Homo-oligomer: A and B are copies of this chain.
C-alpha cells in the first residue's frame, strides 16, 4: 500500500475556527445579492431576524470576519465524533480498474449519522448562551431533526420538531431517535399552531409537507420569547459551520502525502455539506497556496435547482414566510418527486452556492436515482460503507470522474464527501434490490409551471 486506507487527524490538529466565505467573495469575484424583505423589497436587517435567531448567529450570517473561532464548548461536543476519517478507496479503485486516486471524507460517523450536527451543535450552543430555553424546527425524513435533538440535549435546551406527518407515520424509528435525545416530536400539520389549524380545517387528511412544517416551527418561535428557530441548511452561518469538513480534508490529504486534488465532488440539496467541504479549498486558492480544483456539485434530476432552475429571487419556503433569496430555484411551489434522497428534495439552493455556480467556480450535474443506486452498490460492495441516498449522489459523481480517468489513463486525484450513512435508508436499498425503484426524470412541465409563479423582485 502506497497510502493508508484511513487517515485520522489527531484531535489536537482539529480546526479551531470556521472559515467564512463572506470574507473572500470579492477576491473570488463572486457577488451574493442580499436577502430581501418580501413586504418592502429592502434588504433584511438583523432586527428582522432577531425573533427567530440568537444575535451571534445573525452576526455570523452577515459578518465579514474571515475566521470565526469555534467556542471550546462546541469543540468538546465535536470531539465525540470529529475529526472524521478520510478514506482512500483502494478497493473501489481496484474494482473499477481506474488509475484515479479516490479519497472520500466520511461524515456518517456522527451520532445522528450525517454532517448535520456540525451546525446543530453550534446553533444550540449560541442559543443556550443567549438564554434560549426552547428551539423549534421542522424535519422531513428526520436527519436534521435528529441532529438538532442531539445538539439541544447537549446544551439542556428543549427541542420541538414538527415532522411532516407522512414521515411521522412511515418513519417511527427516526421519531424514536429524536425522542431518545429528549426532543418532542409532533406530526405536522398539527393543531398547535394557527398555520397547522388552517391547513387541517381545509384538509383534515393532509399528510403535510416541509413547507407547512416550516410555517408551524417559525410561527411558534416567533410567538414565544423563550423560543427560537433553527434551520439545517441554506443560510450562510449554517454553511460556515460545515467548513470543519474541508479544513480537515486538506490536513488529512497532507498527512497522507497525497497530491493536491484535481477534482472535488459533493451532493447538493440546500448546499451545506457541499459548501463545508469545498470552501476551504477556495481559501487555499485566494491565498495563492494551491490552485482551485475542479469542483462538481451533484443533484437529483427530480429536484434540479442548479441544472434546471432559474437564478432569481424566491421564497425559501412554500408558505412564503421567509425573506426572498437570490438563488437557483425551481419555484417555491415546486414539490419534488418522492425520491429516496429526502434531504435533497428542496426547491431552492443556498444563495452562496448559487452565486459560485453563476461565477463559474462550481460545475453542476444531475442524476436520476437508479444510476445513483447502481454506483452505491459498487461502492458498498468494495468499501463496506452503505451511503445514504443523498451521499450517493456524490458517489455517482466520483464514479463518473473515475471512469473518465479509466478512459483517458490519467491518474487524477478525486476527493468526494460521503455526508452520511444509509443505515436509516434500508427501505430504499430494499426497493432498489427488489426492482421496485421508480426513476424520476427532469419534471419539465412542473418546473415550468412553478417558475411561472416566481415573485417579480430584484
Whether, in the assembled complex, A150 has its beta carbon less than 8 Å from a beta carbon of chain B, the answer is yes
> A111-B384, A153-B381, A384-B80 known; A172 and B6 CB under 8 Å?
no
- Please measure, in the bound complex, the distance between the C-alpha atom of A81 and the C-alpha atom of B384, giving whole angstroms: 9
In the complex, chain A residues 1-19 whose Cβ is within 8 Å of any chain B Cβ:
1, 4-6, 8, 10-12
- Whether A177 sits at the interface, judged by CB under 8 Å, is yes
Instruction: Indicate whether A179 reaches chain B with its CB closer than 8 angstroms.
Output: yes
Within A216-236, which residues are at the interface with B (CB < 8 Å)?
Answer: none
Q: How many identical subunits does the complex contain?
A: 2
A4/B11 contact (C-beta < 8 A), A180-B433, A429-B177, A433-B180 known? yes
Cross-chain contact A180 with B429 (CB below 8 angstroms): yes
| The one of B6, B79, B113, B385 that contacts A423, using a Cβ cutoff of 8 Å | B113
Other-chain contact of A181, B172, B179, B380, B427 (Cβ < 8 Å): B380
Nearest CB of chain B from residue A442's CB, rounded to whole Å: 28
Q: Is A173 part of the contact surface with B, judged by Cβ < 8 Å?
A: yes
A405 interfacial contact with B, CB 8 Å: no
In the complex, chain B residues whose CB is within 8 Å of the CB of A153: 381
Contact of A386 among B76, B175, B180, B381 (CB under 8 A): B180
Tell me the complex Cα distance, A175–B5, Å: 28
Give 3 closest A-B pairs by Cβ, nearest first.
A111-B384, A173-B426, A176-B430
Chain A residues engaging chain B, CB cutoff 8 angstroms: 1, 4-6, 8, 10-12, 76-77, 79-81, 87, 90-91, 109-111, 113, 150, 153-154, 172-177, 179-182, 377, 380-381, 383-386, 423-424, 426-427, 429-430, 433
Q: Could you show 26 A-B contacts with beta carbons less than 8 Å apart?
A: A4-B10, A4-B11, A5-B11, A5-B79, A6-B79, A6-B80, A8-B8, A77-B384, A80-B91, A80-B383, A80-B384, A109-B109, A111-B380, A111-B384, A111-B385, A150-B384, A172-B427, A175-B430, A177-B386, A177-B426, A179-B433, A180-B386, A180-B429, A180-B433, A181-B381, A182-B381
> Knowing that A8-B8, A111-B385 are A-B contacts, what are 4 other residue pairs whose CB atoms are under 8 Å apart, sorted by A's residue number?
A6-B80, A76-B90, A76-B91, A180-B429
